[in-house]
Amino acid sequence: MCVAVILPTCHNAACFVFVAAAWSIMQSRTGHVPGGEAQIEDHAYPADELMPLTCRGRVRGLEPSRGDVDDALGKFSLTLIDTLDTLVLLNKTTEFEAAVRRVLSDVRLDNDIVVSVFETNIRVLGGLLGGHSMAMMLKDGGQHMLWYQDELLHMAKDLGLRLLPAFNTSSGLPYPRVNLKYGVRGPETRTGTETDTCTACAGTIILEFAALSRFTGDPVFEAHARRALDFLWEKRQRNSNLVGTTINIHSGEWVRRDSGVGAGIDSYYEYLLKAYILLGDDLFLQRFNIHYASIMKYISQPPLLLDVHIHKPLLPARTWMDSLLAFFPGLQVLKGDIRPAIETHEMLYQVTKKHNFLPEAFTTDFRVHWAQHPLRPEFAESTYFLYKATGDPYYLEVGRTVLDNLNRFARVPCGFAAMKDVRTGSHEDRMDSFFLAEMFKYLFLLFADTEDLPFDVEDYIFTTEAHLLPLSLSMAPTSSAATNATVSEELDDSNFDWTCPNTRLLFPDPAFPRNLREPIRSAVDKSCPRPAPYREPGMGRPPLRAQDFMANNPEHLELLRRMGVSLIHLKDGRVQLVQHATQAVSAVAAEDGMRFMQEMMELSSQQQKEQLPPRAIQIVSHPFFGRVVLTAGPAQFGTDLSKSVRGFVTVAEPYSGCSELANAEYVQGRIALLQRGQCMFAEKARHIQKAGAIGGIVIDDNEGSSSDTAPLFQMAGDGRNTDDITLPLLFLFHKEGNILMEALKEYKEVEVLLSDKARDRAAIFKGKPLPGSLIESSMDAQEKEDCSTEGTSPANSGPIDQSQMSTMETDESAPEEVNPSEESVSPPDEEVSPSDEVSPSEEGASPSETHHEPKVERDSEKREEPEGDTDLSSQSVDELLADWREDLEAFQQMEKDEL
């Protein structure tokens, strides 16, 4: 590989502690559990994933659906297969041998279940091939796996044959989903009806399929993967040499024309370069270099990486970046382009330090756009490759930061829990298989001494799931059938970069990487500025901005009229803004109006979120010790939680809290647990306050409800003055409430902390040793000032999992009909209900077709569906509308991508 061979060393004890913790989890998963370790096998095996908060396995169909993210689960012990080669890397050969035997005896691949072709390929097929590679390496060593007769390879071929029906399209692009038992047979097998797939989904096949062909001698797999890549190459935009995010698998038309290096495209670029490294085919390098030149010309704006339109690459497609692009600096290291890799990585590190983790999406001025963090490994991956390329110990400190944050904020009694919201520190009951397959692998490699590695990793290529495939496959015999689709294309030597960089010459001065990082180190600390006001060319003053608008200002109303925006007074006293672009006095004024409408939506959403942030309930008693954080909804009344309230919980009698409590003596001085329903929230609060409670937690009575799938809301008063309520009252959906109730049932005495956001464990225990801490030295609590949030976390269950901001809900009014050339929004002042954003989960909906008004929820009322983000960027009205609709659909499509 084109990187310096500089093996990392473990410079501090923390890395060994982390590796020990990692190994204890995997030991538990494979059934070899030392005394006292968490028996994860008892909770999860043979399920596909571990649910670390509830300490049980996630079995598809038995847990509430999370939408497309569940397509990774196929009832084939996903986590076990995905982490086989991790065991070998950790030099746990005995345990690897036992794990392989378990896969061979227990795993079935003929399940009647629909799975993602992309996820199954990179996680399961890649896991089996990585396991086979490791088994053969150990067998050749003559001490382990001597009984092995290619059993994992046989399973891999069986799985490959089950994926092949997805490629039965006229274009050669695969369907996004396939039934493991029945293939693609139409609606009766719940497959074959899709028309679109993401670029990465179709273009991230070649490594696994080519390896399978070369291991088995059957060229059919490599041939299909090459055909899909050929088609994507042919459909690139010829002027910009960029590809879009989503493509029609039948016609080859681009469904989404935005282009970047993040979600939906990322691993397509990765696999072009790595296919050249693994297979030695110059064609892949040529294509990668052509794409890369365009990426650096249009998308890379160091240190940022911004999406653009493939037909208008100078026009930005959005103002935010997603976390999956964090892999790109690592790919740039393989390419040998170190300078921009250092710059982008430093920007990502500063965002990580600001928020403890890299949010799923963040804006160009580093505000949180989507607040989840499912423990993604891409940033650790790039950190590892940059350390290998530069030898700069700075990247060991970066790795230490990642390690510390995982231990401080994500570790829970049964594993590591994904972050539901990086701002509050709340958790989600989720631990994806890639956490063990990739995160542990890259962090171990970053800190490991040479003698810690059982083999030379330079002899292998890492797949996008960090599975290890031997570079010797380039010498394996391959049939001409695997390459006959591409031989007709002539190679242009001018598009080749034949040499690998010599990092000794690149960095003669050890300070060189630091000099590149220095200008970026203060970027995030100085973040959150408002963009410079847009000024119409040739005009002496800027157009009206949403933050300055006053509905009773005649001058402002005239400016609205010129922009084609009208103000409508509704019967309930509210007002609504509607834009008719065709009624603007000019095209420029229409663009100003569109910009004003978008600003108004963002301002309304921003004000709403600032008023109604989510709250945190942190379990601080044994054995949780602050490691479990539940996302809670606030109330319109009661105590401000800027100062947290700590106490033991007890169930109120009656549980509804709708009459004076019969167990007041037990409730006194404690936090009362209440069931939703039968009376108003404020009435419940008054009854527990009278009994002497110091706080209350209302638990939803709707079984199965969860903040994963429903938006948080603000509990309303009862129409009376609520100044008499002086205790805090928080709301938990049923799933989160059940975690608390089960803890109370098992441990009898459960202490919680009610606060505006999760507190650092060191702060909770005030310098005392942290029970169960992986790193013995406790760290001082550091309150980090967060930036205002630009966008909410979309609340449609998906791979980017939910971190719902509270949705303020007031009386809802019927939306007016708006034709496609119009946009409507309500301004935030003068008793105006701010318009919430349209959910990307509402397929086909656009801002002009769907209009929601939020409302305050009263006890026992229905909750509205979650709502998502919008974004705006364009130079003409028609383009603006089209681009806006594309961005509204972006999150839904990201769920169908590789996330």
Instruction: Provide the annotated active-site residues.
Output: 119, 266, 360, 378
CA-nearest of 861, 866, 842, 857 to 702 is 861
Among 638, 642, 651, 713, CA closest to 683: 638
Burial of 497 (0-12, 13-18, 19+ CB in 10 A): middle
Q: How far apart are CA 861 and CA 731, in angstroms?
A: 14
In angstroms, how far apart are the furthest CA atoms of the chain? 87
Token couple for 395: 């990247």
CB atoms within 10 A of CB 682: 25
How far is CA 777 from its chain centroid? 30
Task: Name the strands in the sheet holding 196-198, side by side, starting at the edge strand that comes first in the sequence.
Answer: 196-198, 246-248, 254-256
Place of tokens 């520190």: 425
Which run of H or of E encompasses 648? Answer: strand 645-651
Q: Where are the beta strands (DSSP E) in 806-882?
A: 822-825
User: Peptide bond preceding 623: is omega within 30 degrees of 0, i.e. cis?
Assistant: yes
Is omega for the bond preceding 303 within 30 degrees of 0, making it cis?
yes
Chain Cα centroid distance, residue 711: 18
For residues 86 and 447, what is the distance between their CA atoms, to the nearest angstrom?
A: 15
**Is 446:383 a contact under the CB 8 Å cutoff?**
yes
Q: Which residues pair with 617 in a beta bridge?
A: 630, 754
Helices (H), 650-713: 664-667, 681-690
What does the block give as tokens for 746? 């098992």
Q: How many residues does the chain have?
A: 899
Q: Is 464 annotated as a binding residue?
A: yes
Q: Would you state the structure tokens that stand for residue 726, as one six-digit string?
A: 């002086």
3-state secondary structure string across 400-447: HHHHHHHHHHHEECCEECEEEECCCCEEECCECHHHHHHHHHHHHHHH
Q: Which residues belong to the annotated binding site for Ca(2+)?
A: 464
Annotated binding site, which residues? Answer: 464
